[in-house]
Amino acid sequence: MTPNVPLGCRVERATAPGTVKVRLSGRIDEHFDPGALAEGCTGAVIVDLSDVHEITSYGVRRWVSGLELMSRTWLGFVNCRPALVTQFNSVRNFAQGGQLVSFFAPYLCTACGKYFESLIDLRRQHAQVAAFETPAEKCPDCKAPAELDDLPEGYFFFAAAQPVPAPPRAALRWVDGGGVAMRVDKEVEGDLTVLWLSGSLDRAPSFRRITAGLEGTVLVMAQELEPPSPEGLTRLGELLKLLGGEVFLARAPVPIAAGLAGDPALLGPARLLSVRVTFACDTCGAVSYRDLNRTTLHGFEAGAISMPPCPSCGKPLTPQNLAAAGPAGALMRPEPPPSAVTHHLEAHAHAPKVSEAEPVVGDLVPGRRFGKYEVKRKIGAGGMAEVFSATLLGDGGFERKVVLKRIIPLLARDTAFLAMLHDEARLAARVSHPNVVQVFDVGQQSGVHYIAMEYVHGWDLNAVLRLAERFEVSLPVPLAGAIVVQLCAGLHAAHAWVGDDGVPRPIIHRDVSPHNVLLSVDGLVKVTDFGVAKAADSVHNTPTETLKGKLSFMAPELFRNREHDVDARVDVFATGVVLFQCLTLRHPFRAPNDAAIMAAILASDGPSARELRPEISPELDAVVRRALANDAQARFQTARELGAALEQALLPLGPLPRPEDLAAFLKELTARLPTEGHLHQTRLTSSQLASPGLGNVPPTKTGSDGKS
């Protein structure tokens, strides 16, 4: 079943601003060179393992050593073959903190016996893999259903235990297959023909068709070409030679310019006019590009030209790849190009022709400054935001650990959403309570919209419930109740908020769920993301879209009348769902799809928790049923009322557990996890736990951002 494996392992790499792709082929064994793997691996690193079908025990040690040598900010693995998947699952620290983005699963056709491998992309299929559900596949020969040629619990272990992969934007070109096919746009201006090249030289069309009929002077604009392999550089040389006449190459990305400098014969009679160099700000992380000609390239190298200012903070920028671009200066001649070429370059100095990606200005980059924050690492991503741990830096050495949530660009362009988000976040920032995650800051810098929030060292409640289910451990009834009592206290603080003018301005959460309840290592319960759901609603146009995401926690009155005034009772209902889950590890409205969940919520007051867990007292069961009352008037009217009734029902069981009791339980529960580094994250999320969903409730497309 395994193809013939060549001896040794070949290492190839391609680079782009902020990212490196390493492709391995062959066998990883005792001859594997860790230094060859780690060489040049800075920034975001993608390792392509599609051509590695075998690794030995000695090879594992050398592999791990190579990963340890990398100076990278993010590490991902793509196209991983089954032999490597086995190592991810069984060898501690085999990933060295990296993320498995895609891997091949082995399938066997039960009808004809054919073995084949199918690629699984965890960015889209993580929920299925985390539930140990095998993606359906058909035999490529006889089209009969095929089965996974392994046990899902074993083969999917590592993939299920890690969070949903979130490659940085710079690395997406490598994750998605190493680039799109090369495209050529042609423009004729008198005797000048301009060719705008974009995409991958490794996937180039027939150059003879491109060059047919070209006459006069030709200008090749190369800034949108992806970093090529040696074969791609050879193809570029073939194109330049086929053009004939006077040929000029401008704005060559550094990898292309460096490749031409290494083999000047590829350039042929063509002239290199400029190299595109990346400049970054060490203070705030802003990134921009400069097209350097012979004079400016030598000027920057010699220090005769001062560094350009950062467009965000005004501090001097630092060239990121000037050393690699330097040798290309020898290919540039001092005489100026024809005036038609000069005029065209000036006219298009700031207007890329095809599809140049916008520079990342002041973006959140691990290891760099973002305004007054120092970004540490990315810890999650979701439908609304990317989440980073960071440090707030103040005068006199003041530091404070925070969480930064960067609103995704799609929503950042929606003015209605941003206005609503800022309004709600400013209100939430005024709620000061031990059971509410504090909002410190909300704003935008250089086009990046963000929220700065209190850092909670611990786990979200959904992760804890999944972990308890995985190890078949029920939360003690008093402890489950104590969690919700603290949750009610935090919710009531927001519901009862009064403005400085003495006018009540209740803040309704609208998205209470285990994902938004954080449990600190000290045993404190904190509710987070007030008002985010309301802001999310502002960008939707239809009732169906608005309901998605929080549907399984939504009060029935909102299904009956979407225009119904939202008050504290919708949060009370959702808290009742959370209470039911804490007591039973099941969702009260179990159903296979959204429509069935909605019907179940509308049909009744929900099931009895006591039927699933007989040790629950009738009094406590009554509290749960009342919190889930179908009629809002019959429900607890405030979160404080629910919390008080819950405390009263728990009295016969003894004193209410203290935060230190919850902390001890969490420590004991999480100690059951394996000791692999990838399972010990600062914020353990549900997506990191290899267990099926609670009560078979479909994964929600939550309107709030990634929780971690």
pLDDT of residue 675: 40
Which residues share a beta bridge with 185? Answer: 196
Evaluate if pTM is beyond 0.85.
no
CA triplet 273, 277, 283: central angle to 5 degrees?
Answer: 155
Flag whether pLDDT at 694 surpasses 70: no
Q: Which residue has the higher pLDDT, 242 or 654?
A: 654
Mean pLDDT of 71-96: 90
- Reported as a pLDDT band with limits 50, 70 and 90, residue 303 is confident
CA 667 to chain CA centroid, Å, is: 28
Query: What are the pLDDT digits (tens) for 424-474?
Result: 677 778 888 999 999 888 888 767 888 899 999 888 898 899 889 888 899
Q: How far is it, in rounded angstroms, from Cα 510 to Cα 491?
A: 11
Going by pLDDT thresholds of 50, 70 and 90, the confidence category of residue 180 is low
Which of these, 530, 362, 539, lies nearest to 443 by C-alpha position? 362
Which one is predicted more confidently, 289 or 667? Answer: 667
Contact 285/363 with Cβ under 8 angstroms? yes
Q: Tell me which residue of 13, 85, 163 sits closest to 678, measured CA to CA.
A: 163
Fold of 369-454: Phosphorylase Kinase; domain 1 (3.30.200)
Of residues 581 and 687, more confidence is placed in: 581
| Domains 9-175 and 183-347 in one fold | yes
CB 14 within 8 A of CB 41: no
SS (H, E, C) 591-660: CCCHHHHHHHHHHCCCCCHHHHCCCCCHHHHHHHHHHCCCCHHHCCCCHHHHHHHHHHHHHHHCCCCCHH
Out of 3.30.750.24, 3.30.70.20, 3.30.1490.190, 3.40.50.720, select the CATH number for domain 9-175. Answer: 3.30.750.24
Highest mean pLDDT among 300-309, 367-376, 470-479: 470-479
pLDDT band at 45 (very low <50, low <70, confident <90, very high): very high
Q: What is the per-residue pLDDT across 541-577, written as a single tens digit (0 to 9) for each?
A: 333 333 434 678 989 988 887 545 688 999 999 999 9
Q: Which of the following CATH numbers is that of domain 459-696: 1.10.510.10, 1.10.630.10, 3.40.640.10, 3.40.50.300?
A: 1.10.510.10
| Residue 145 to residue 124: CA distance in whole angstroms | 22
178-182, 287-291, 317-321: least confidently modelled range: 178-182
| pLDDT surpassing 90 at residue 219 | yes
* pLDDT band, very low/low/confident/very high, at 676 (cuts 50, 70, 90): very low
Give the residue from 536, 572, 539 showing the smallest Cα distance to 554: 572
Phi, psi (5° rounding) for residue 108?
Answer: -135, 125
Tokens found for residue 603: 């049909």
**Proportion of the chain above pLDDT 90, given as a percent:** 31
> In terms of pLDDT, which residue wins out, 184 or 119?
119
And the tokens for 327?
Answer: 């040798």
CATH architecture of the domain with residue range 183-347: 2-Layer Sandwich (3.30)
One-letter amino acid at 48 equals D
Q: Which pLDDT score is estimated for 689?
A: 33
pLDDT of residue 286: 58
CB 615 within 8 A of CB 570: no
Paired strand residues for 450: 406, 443
**Residue 185 to residue 294: CA distance in whole angstroms:** 26
pLDDT of 674 higher than 80? no
Higher pLDDT among residues 477 and 413, named by residue: 477
Cα gap 210→71, rounded to integer Å: 41
Question: In the predicted model, is pLDDT for residue 592 greater than 80?
Answer: no
* Closest residue by Cα to residue 381 from 419, 413, 407, 417: 407
Is 306 buried (19+), middle (13-18) or exposed (0-12) by CB count in 10 A? exposed
The structural domains of the chain, with segments of one domain joined by +, span 9-175, 183-347, 369-454, 459-696
State the average pLDDT over residues 60-64. Answer: 91
Is 522 in contact with 558 (CB distance < 8 Å)? no
Query: Residue 261: CA atoms inside 13 Å, Cβ hemisphere, count?
Result: 19
Share the mean pLDDT of the chain.
Answer: 80
pLDDT of residue 361: 39
pLDDT at 532 (0 to 100)? 58
| Nearest CA-CA partner of 643 in 498, 493, 476 | 493
Highest mean pLDDT among 15-24, 110-119, 471-480: 471-480
